[in-house]
């Protein structure tokens, strides 16, 4: 499994979640929203694939 993130993508994500007001340097709420949004997109794509597979089963 490749867990490497392209440098350009890493920088964009880092800019999105950065927060000077946070002691850890990121906006935890924004970070979680991004993660949940991406998980919902993945869930939707998976459901479509499952429906496609189910429609092809004899």
**C-alpha triplet 31, 18, 15: angle, nearest 5°:** 95
Instruction: State pTM to two decimals.
Output: 0.73
The answer to whether the CB of 55 falls within 8 A of the CB of 48 is no
The answer to whether the CB of 34 falls within 8 A of the CB of 28 is no
pLDDT at 57: 72
Q: Which helix (H) or strand (E) holds 46?
A: helix 28-56
The answer to whether the CB of 24 falls within 8 A of the CB of 14 is no
Per-residue pLDDT tens digits for 18-50: 999 999 999 999 999 999 999 999 999 999 999
pLDDT at 47: 97
- DSSP-derived letter for residue 1 is -
pLDDT at 2: 78
């Amino acid at each position: 499994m490749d867990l490497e993130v392209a440098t350009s993508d890493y920088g964009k994500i880092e800019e999105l979640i950065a927060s000077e007001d946070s002691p850890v340097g990121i906006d935890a709420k924004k970070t979680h929203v991004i993660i949940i949004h991406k998980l919902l997109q993945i869930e939707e794509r998976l459901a479509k694939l499952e429906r496609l597979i189910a429609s092809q089963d004899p």
